[in-house]
């Protein structure tokens, strides 16, 4: 009986079929190569085969790393990338059918143009894109290909050894890296770029002397109410939230019911008494709410505004000679998107962690001021008239006392 059962079991096993294995396809043909930055695009004619599934490119980068790229049969081109240097490299193409059956290899030379991470550094080196400013330096970069890169900034310490200062991970098309907290002494800085394939550029060295800068203390800050200023909510979004150190909560304006009707509409304003007079070099502002993604670059997110300074404001709230305009500012998105486009996850993370930084255009051209006043012209809904509330979750001022 045991033998019969065993035999029955063998019959059932014989009924299991194996995966299909296709015929060996012919190779791709008529390969044409177009050089691109850091790689190449290869176009080809596909072989005639019902079993064909994809085309594979196999190649080795200049740093010895082996890579593969695949393209479906619904297009006749494939891109190879990740090369760290210009030059000529070999790429091997295979047509692959069902069951991973490969054709004969077709090896072609490809010309690779200057990689994106090196182009970024080339542009940083040109046109004074690294400049000294209050408390550090500003580094302007352009990344036209929107490649994933790391911009690394280092400096020589007191022992003459290189030490890290900042790493900026970005795939934005352009931006400004602002290094602060540096002493006002001649300092050797270095800048180099890494890509996602672990290539590193040479280091661009520059010696700069940052201007002296401190953060303006907030211990004496208080609201200085003027008749035409926006109002304050009774709870939840207090005026003091502008300087309480919490970037995730703060002030949301409302119409001032004690003011004339026209104060409800744009432009609207708010005024702060700093308690001490200071000269301003830059400000860091968190001007939206981050717990709700739609608020980031949304209807209450500051877009275009001005900052004024005074030491003896006219108590009637008029924009008269008692106020000096210190700067006109417009918010911009690292992605380059405009009104009405939802914020990307990268934008939300970046703005929550870093806020938005604005440089005052002529810090040394003005005297020190005790009072500052925001004049808001528009928010990120694009409207320049009508009613509009606005957020200020945190404000940090820097300069000289």
Instruction: Quote the pLDDT of residue 255.
Output: 61
Instruction: Quote the pLDDT of residue 261.
Output: 39
Instruction: Quote the pLDDT of residue 8.
Output: 42
- Is 7 a member of any domain? no
- Is 19 a member of any domain? no
Tens-digit pLDDT profile for residues 71-82: 999 999 999 999
- Domain finish residue from 112, 132, 160: 112
- Is 128 a member of any domain? yes
Which of 36-40, 42-46, 348-352 is predicted with the least confidence, judged by mean pLDDT?
Answer: 348-352
* Same domain flag for 53 and 197: no
- Is 284 a member of any domain? yes
- Domain containing 71 equals 29-112
* Same domain flag for 241 and 388: yes
* Same domain flag for 290 and 154: no
Cα gap 84→87, rounded to integer Å: 9
- Is 275 a member of any domain? yes
- Is 183 a member of any domain? yes
* Same domain flag for 272 and 342: yes
Tens-digit pLDDT profile for residues 151-173: 999 999 989 999 999 999 999 99
- Per-residue confidence band for 134, with pLDDT thresholds at 50, 70 and 90: confident
* Residue, of 263 and 163, whose pLDDT is higher: 163
* Same domain flag for 193 and 296: no
* Same domain flag for 105 and 39: yes
- The pTM (predicted TM-score) of the whole model is 0.65
- Per-residue confidence band for 389, with pLDDT thresholds at 50, 70 and 90: confident
Taking every pair of Cα atoms in the chain, the longest distance, rounded to a whole number of angstroms, is 111
Looking at the predicted structure, is the pLDDT value of residue 234 above 70?
Answer: no
- Domain finish residue from 196, 211, 226: 211
Which of 15-24, 139-148, 151-160, 292-301 is predicted with the least confidence, judged by mean pLDDT?
Answer: 15-24
- Is 9 a member of any domain? no
Average pLDDT of the segment spanning 183-204: 96
The CATH number assigned to the domain holding 308 equals 2.60.120.260
- Per-residue confidence band for 264, with pLDDT thresholds at 50, 70 and 90: low
Tell me how many domains the chain contains: 3
- Domain finish residue from 177, 195, 211: 211
Nearby residues of 187 by Cβ (< 8 Å), 6 or more positions away:
155, 156, 207, 208, 209, 210
- Is 24 a member of any domain? no
Contact 360, 308 (CB under 8 A): no
Cα gap 298→391, rounded to integer Å: 10
* Same domain flag for 222 and 362: yes
* Same domain flag for 303 and 393: yes
The CATH number assigned to the domain holding 124 equals 2.60.40.10
* Same domain flag for 261 and 379: yes
Looking at the predicted structure, is the pLDDT value of residue 13 above 70?
Answer: no
* Same domain flag for 206 and 121: yes
* Same domain flag for 252 and 132: no
* Same domain flag for 124 and 195: yes
Tens-digit pLDDT profile for residues 331-376: 998 888 899 899 999 899 999 999 999 999 877 788 999 999 999 9
């Amino acid at each position: 009986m045991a033998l019969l059962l065993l035999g029955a079991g063998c019959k059932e096993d014989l009924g299991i079929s194996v995966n299909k294995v296709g015929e060996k396809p012919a190779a791709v043909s008529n390969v044409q190569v177009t050089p691109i930055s850091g790689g190449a695009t290869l176009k080809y004619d596909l072989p005639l085969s019902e079993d064909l599934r994809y085309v594979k490119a196999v190649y080795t980068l200049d740093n010895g790393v082996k890579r593969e790229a695949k393209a479906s049969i619904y297009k006749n081109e494939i891109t190879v990338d990740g090369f760290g240097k210009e030059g000529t490299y070999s790429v091997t193409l295979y047509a692959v059918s069902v069951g991973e059956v490969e054709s004969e290899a077709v090896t072609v030379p490809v010309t690779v143009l200057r990689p994106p991470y090196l182009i970024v550094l080339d542009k940083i080196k040109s046109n004074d894109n690294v400049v000294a400013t209050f408390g550090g330096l500003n580094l302007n970069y352009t990344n036209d290909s929107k490649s994933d890169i790391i911009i690394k900034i280092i400096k020589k310490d007191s022992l003459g050894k290189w030490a890290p200062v900042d790493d900026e991970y970005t795939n934005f098309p352009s931006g400004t890296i602002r290094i602060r907290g540096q002493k006002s002494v001649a300092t050797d800085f270095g800048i180099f770029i890494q890509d996602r394939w672990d290539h590193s550029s040479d280091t661009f060295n520059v010696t700069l002397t940052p201007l002296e800068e401190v953060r303006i203390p907030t211990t004496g800050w208080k609201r200085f109410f003027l008749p035409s200023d926006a109002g304050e909510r009774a709870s939840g979004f207090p005026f003091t939230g502008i300087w309480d150190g919490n970037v995730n909560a703060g002030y949301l304006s409302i119409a001032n019911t004690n003011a004339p009707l026209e104060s409800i509409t744009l432009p609207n304003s708010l005024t702060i008494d700093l308690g001490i007079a200071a000269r301003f070099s830059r400000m860091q502002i968190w001007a939206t709410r981050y717990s709700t993604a739609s608020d980031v670059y949304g209807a209450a997110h500051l877009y275009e505004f001005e900052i004024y300074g005074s030491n003896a404001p006219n108590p009637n709230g008029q924009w008269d000679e008692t106020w000096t305009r210190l700067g006109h500012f417009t918010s911009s998105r690292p992605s380059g998107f405009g009104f009405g486009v939802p914020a990307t996850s990268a934008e939300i993370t970046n703005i929550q962690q870093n806020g938005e930084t604005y440089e005052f255009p002529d810090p040394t051209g003005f005297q020190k001021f005790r009072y500052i006043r925001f004049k808001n012209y528009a928010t990120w809904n694009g409207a320049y008239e009508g009613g509009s509330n606005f957020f200020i979750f945190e404000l940090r001022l820097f300069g000289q006392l």
